[in-house]
């Protein structure tokens, strides 16, 4: 009896051990994807011989020190002990070297020479090779920062169990986070607590978190950060705040991350140091030059300014009847002696242009006449779509529409319109959709990714190499950084795509899931499945078939398709969906606003006809009758209902798939995600019910058989208020 009991117990324990990957200890998410948990024995046995000692082939710098420290931390975690740092190369050394440190890498006979040259100043090479007669693993690069990136890449491969043989260089020069963080530590559209920048404590007190922030970003290759909100305040450019920004810059510098600031165009005027902010005024120009000099004295590698001008009430050059180019070039002249840049945002829609035109057209109309008129150190920063970070938008027509101007992609990592940090939505697929879009621009059709890689630019501008991608950060003071554990994946995916805009969202999801939860395929595969279906699910329950901007006023959470009373027409959801007795959707063809004409002729032709418009963008471009026959065989009305139901089913599916993972994930993180998924199901149901109730009140049509009526009358949904929703800044 006793023996049988012991046998049973042993079998139970064994099966539990088999079902439970090594990550079952509770975690709070602080470590992000840099967890370095113990590897399985076989993986340890494979890794150990590759890193018996760590060798830095030259003099240490803060950056290479960070690389060595990270390798030690990672190996300590994965193997249980960290290798010693040694000065001599032996069999089994993990060697970090640049050609300057180890000239033999650069000799004519070195097989690595050509490969290294091709990797530029930030790329890296991971290679098992022979050095000075010894079998080693080599992390090689042309610079210290390349070595740090290489160290992170080597660790990533070790965690995932991938072959650590790779050569990689970033395709974009600027890989930036944009913090919409205010100086009082509130965060506009932030859903993960307060700002991580403790401006009050700075510059004397620097949070340890800044180092972990830098590590996480460097692990992805992010090399710049704009510390403050695009809706900027003049005070950020005063001496006190420059000193605070300089203290942050000092912490981030070893990790290759430059600091930038958002500048308010009227700063000198508001600080009462000039009597105008006119960009053509010599006094204003001198003020900015002196200000730039002052900043560079404190932060010698300051990146430059990000500017939101003449948009949503922000001041700008148009206040003085000057153009965006006049404004940008004035600032560009101030920073150019220091090699700084200006990132001038194209997200403009002016007060006054509310005569029933199309907000989607404004940026293109204002900026394309300025193509070729910007100084060489100006980039125009363009949101992925022409409205505003909706769950789905067609790519912005400015991509491919300004061939002489370097364009910086702006994605929103924080989920202002996709359920904050309560709903699960992996944005890698959304970013990928935009980046892979074919602009159909000459000569042979360029994807958006190729446009931002500078492939369409004239030779001189291409040589200057101003290329980049910016992501509006979702980082805050929450212990797990991003509020939702899965929102870490959006930071991660942004960084990886900024390194390589042509990378695959699925491959990135696999990497992230393996590092964040477990490399065990029984965990990685279902987590990736959840991620890959999540964004489409959100689109289905919020804004299917190309609908957009139907979120609650101001906070942008929850459905409000009925809103029609806001000051500007283009702030109202009814402006965007145009639902009426006769049909639904925004006619952007020639019979409507003709926004379509802003795209390449091939796209304009294809999308002019609803039958050749992708279904997912149908109501973005067309106003169609409710009984329009969809390719599915349903009427448009039935299709819309079907999509809402698909969205709700999808949300439940996300939940049930996650619940099935319970034995494989640590309890704390599992529960924190599970609670949010419960809320997401309720949010999906709310969207479905409120939108169906509203659209039915407009079209008066019955629900087809099998479609459940909304449980409450429309007035119930209209009365829902969400006071004190986060993210208002
Ligand atoms: C959106 C967002 C604002 C933000 C603006 C911008 O409209 O709701 O909070 O300031 O975008 O990108 O400038």
What mean pLDDT value characterizes the chain? 95
Position 302 in a domain: yes
Q: Give 189 Cα–ligand 1 centroid separation in angstroms.
A: 8
Residue 319 belongs to a domain: yes
Same domain, yes or no: 329 and 367: yes
- What's residue 22's pLDDT? 46
Atom of ligand 1 minimally distant from the CA of 416: 8
Taking the centre of ligand 1 as the mean of its atom positions, its distance from the CA of residue 312, in whole angstroms, is 8
Give the strand order in the sheet containing 84-86: 84-86, 53-56, 93-97, 134-141, 124-131, 166-168
Question: Which ligand 1 atom is the nearest neighbour of the CA of 188?
Answer: 9
433-453 pLDDT, tens digit per residue, is 999 999 999 767 899 999 999
Angle (deg, nearest 10), helices 282-298 and 239-252: 40
Kindly tell me if the per-residue pLDDT of 13 is higher than 50.
no
Secondary structure percentages of the chain, helix, strand, coil, to 5: 45, 10, 45
Up-side HSE of residue 424: CA atoms within 13 Å toward CB? 31
Report how far ligand 1's centroid is from the alpha carbon of 693 (Å): 29
Please indicate, yes or no, if residue 9 is contained in any of the structural domains. no
DSSP codes, 218-251: HHHT--EEE-S-SS--GGGGSHHHHHHHHHHHHH
Residue 2 lies in a domain: no
Q: Report the alpha-carbon angle 220-71-24, nearest 5.
A: 80
User: Is 561 found in the same domain as 479?
Assistant: no
467 with 550, same domain: the answer is: no
Nearest atom of ligand 1 to the alpha carbon of 230: 13
Statement to judge: residues 158 and 277 lie in one domain: no
- Provide the residue range defining the domain that includes 238: 179-514
Our mutation pick for probing the ligand 1 site, out of 362, 388, 396, 412, counting the most ligand atoms within 8 A of Cβ, is: 388
Give tens-digit pLDDT for 126-156: 999 999 999 999 999 999 999 999 999 999 9
Residues 188 and 144 in one domain: no
Residue 12 lies in a domain: no
pLDDT at 16 over 50: no
Expressed in angstroms and rounded, the spacing between residue 524 Cα and the centre of ligand 1 is 35
Any idea what the CATH number is for the domain that residue 33 is in?
A: 3.30.379.10
Total structural domains in the chain?
A: 3
CATH number for the domain including 709? 3.90.1330.10
pTM: 0.96
Distance 238 CA to ligand 1 centre (A): 24
CATH code of the domain covering residue 244: 3.20.20.80
pLDDT score at 320 = 98
Q: Establish if 561 belongs to a structural domain.
A: yes
- Both 545 and 459 in one domain: the answer is no
Q: Quick one: how far is CA 165 from the chain centroid? A: 27
Cα-to-centroid distance, 481 and ligand 1 (Å): 21
- Is 591 part of any domain? no
Whether the predicted pLDDT of 17 surpasses 50: no
Instruction: Pick the range with the lowest mean pLDDT from 41-45, 139-143, 460-464, 620-624.
Output: 460-464
Q: What is the pLDDT of residue 460?
A: 86
Least confident residue range of 107-111, 145-149, 276-280, 356-360: 356-360
- Gap between the terminal Cα atoms of the chain: 67
How many A from CA of 181 to the centre of ligand 1? Answer: 12
Last residue of a domain, one of 135, 168, 201: 168
- Residues within 6 Å of ligand 1 by CB: 188-189, 230-231, 308, 347, 388, 416
Q: Which of 23, 78, 29, 30 is nearest to 51 (CA)?
A: 78
Give the residue numbers marked as catalytic: 312, 388, 416
The verdict on residue 600 lying in a domain is: no
According to the model, what pLDDT value does residue 11 have?
46
Ligand 1, atom 10: closest residue by C-alpha: 231
User: Which is more confidently placed, 243 or 111?
Assistant: 243
Say yes or no: 232 and 346 in one domain: yes
Q: Is 33 exposed, middle or buried (0-12, 13-18, 19+ CB in 10 A)?
A: buried
Residue 605 confidence class, pLDDT cut points 50, 70, 90: very high
Is residue 654 predicted with pLDDT exceeding 90?
yes
Say whether pLDDT at 113 is over 50: yes
Residue-wise pLDDT for 175-211, tens only, equals 999 999 999 999 999 999 999 999 999 999 999 999 9
The ligand 1 atom at the shortest distance from the C-alpha of residue 180 is 10
For the stretch 153-171, pLDDT in tens is 999 999 999 887 899 999 9
Burial of 625: CB neighbours in 10 Å, binned 0-12, 13-18, 19+ = middle
In this structure, the answer to whether residues 149 and 229 fall within a common structural domain is no
Residue % of the chain over a pLDDT of 90: 91
The residue from 128, 148, 168 where one domain ends is 168
Ligand 1: which residue has its CA nearest to atom 12?
Answer: 347
């Amino acid at each position: 009896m006793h023996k049988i009991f012991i046998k049973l117990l042993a079998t139970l324990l064994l099966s539990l051990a088999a079902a439970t990957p090594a990550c079952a200890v509770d975690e709070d998410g602080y470590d992000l994807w840099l967890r370095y948990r113990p590897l399985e024995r076989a993986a340890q046995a494979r890794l150990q011989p590759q890193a018996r000692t760590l060798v830095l082939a030259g003099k240490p710098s803060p950056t290479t020190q960070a690389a060595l420290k990270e390798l030690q931390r990672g190996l300590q975690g994965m193997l249980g002990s960290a290798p010693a740092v040694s000065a001599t190369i032996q069999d089994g050394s993990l060697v970090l070297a640049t050609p300057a440190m180890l000239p033999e890498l650069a000799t004519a006979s070195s097989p690595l020479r050509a490969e290294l040259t091709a990797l530029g100043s930030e790329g890296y090479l991971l290679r098992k090779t022979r050095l000075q007669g010894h079998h080693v693993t080599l992390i090689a690069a042309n610079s210290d920062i390349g070595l740090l990136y290489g160290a992170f890449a080597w660790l990533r491969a070790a965690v995932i169990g991938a072959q650590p043989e790779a050569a990689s260089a970033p395709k974009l020069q600027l890989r930036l986070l944009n913090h919409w963080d205010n100086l009082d530590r509130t965060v506009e559209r932030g859903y993960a607590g307060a700002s991580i920048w403790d401006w009050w404590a700075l510059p004397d007190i620097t949070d340890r978190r800044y180092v972990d922030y830098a590590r996480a970003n460097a692990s992805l290759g992010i090399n710049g950060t704009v510390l403050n909100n695009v809706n900027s305040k003049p005070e950020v450019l005063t001496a006190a705040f420059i000193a605070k920004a300089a203290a942050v810059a000092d912490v981030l510098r070893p990790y290759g991350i430059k600091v930038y600031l958002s500048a308010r165009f009227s700063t000198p005027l508001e600080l009462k140091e000039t009597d105008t902010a006119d960009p053509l005024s010599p006094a204003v120009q001198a003020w900015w030059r002196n200000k730039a000099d002052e900043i560079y004295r404190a932060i010698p590698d300051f990146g430059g300014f990000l500017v939101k001008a003449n948009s949503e009430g922000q001041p700008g050059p148009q206040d003085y009847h000057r153009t965006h180019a006049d404004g940008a070039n004035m600032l560009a002249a101030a920073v150019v002696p220091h090699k700084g840049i200006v990132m001038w945002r194209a997200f403009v829609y002016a007060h006054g242009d509310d005569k029933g035109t199309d907000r989607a057209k404004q940026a293109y109309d204002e900026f394309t006449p300025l193509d070729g008129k910007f100084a060489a150190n100006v980039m125009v920063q363009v949101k992925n779509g022409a409205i505003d970070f909706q769950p789905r938008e067609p790519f912005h027509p400015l991509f491919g529409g300004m061939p002489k101007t370097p364009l910086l992609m702006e994605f929103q990592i924080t989920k202002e319109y996709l359920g904050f940090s309560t709903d699960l939505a992996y944005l890698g697929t959304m970013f990928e959709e935009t980046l892979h879009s074919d602009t159909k621009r000459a000569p042979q059709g360029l994807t958006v990714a190729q446009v931002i890689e500078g492939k369409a630019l004239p030779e001189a501008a291409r040589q200057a190499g101003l290329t980049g991608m910016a992501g509006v950060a979702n980082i805050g003071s929450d212990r797990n950084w991003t509020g939702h554990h899965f929102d870490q994946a959006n930071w991660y995916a942004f960084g990886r795509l900024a390194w390589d805009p042509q990378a695959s969202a699925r491959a990135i999801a696999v990497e992230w899931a393996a590092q964040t939860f477990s490399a065990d395929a029984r965990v990685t595969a279902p987590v990736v499945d959840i991620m890959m279906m999540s964004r489409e699910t959100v689109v289905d329950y919020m804004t299917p078939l190309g609908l957009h901007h139907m979120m609650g006023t101001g906070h942008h959470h929850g459905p409000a398709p009925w809103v029609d009373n806001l000051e500007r027409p283009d702030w109202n959801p009814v402006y965007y969906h145009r639902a009426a007795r006769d049909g639904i959707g925004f006619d952007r063809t020639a019979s409507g606003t003709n926004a379509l004409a802003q795209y390449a002729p091939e796209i304009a032709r294809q999308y002019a006809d609803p039958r050749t418009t992708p279904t997912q963008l149908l109501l973005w471009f067309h106003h169609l009758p409710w009984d329009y026959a969809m390719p599915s065989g349903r009427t448009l009305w039935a299709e819309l209902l079907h999509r809402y139901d698909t969205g709700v089913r999808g949300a439940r599916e996300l939940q049930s798939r996650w619940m099935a993972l319970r034995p494989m994930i640590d309890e704390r993180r599992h529960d924190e995600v599970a609670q949010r998924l419960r809320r997401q199901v309720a949010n999906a149901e709310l969207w479905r019910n409120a939108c169906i109730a509203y659209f039915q009140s407009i079209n008066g049509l019955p629900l087809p058989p099998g479609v459940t009526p909304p449980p409450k009358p429309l007035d119930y949904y209209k009365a829902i208020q969400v006071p004190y929703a986060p993210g208002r800044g």
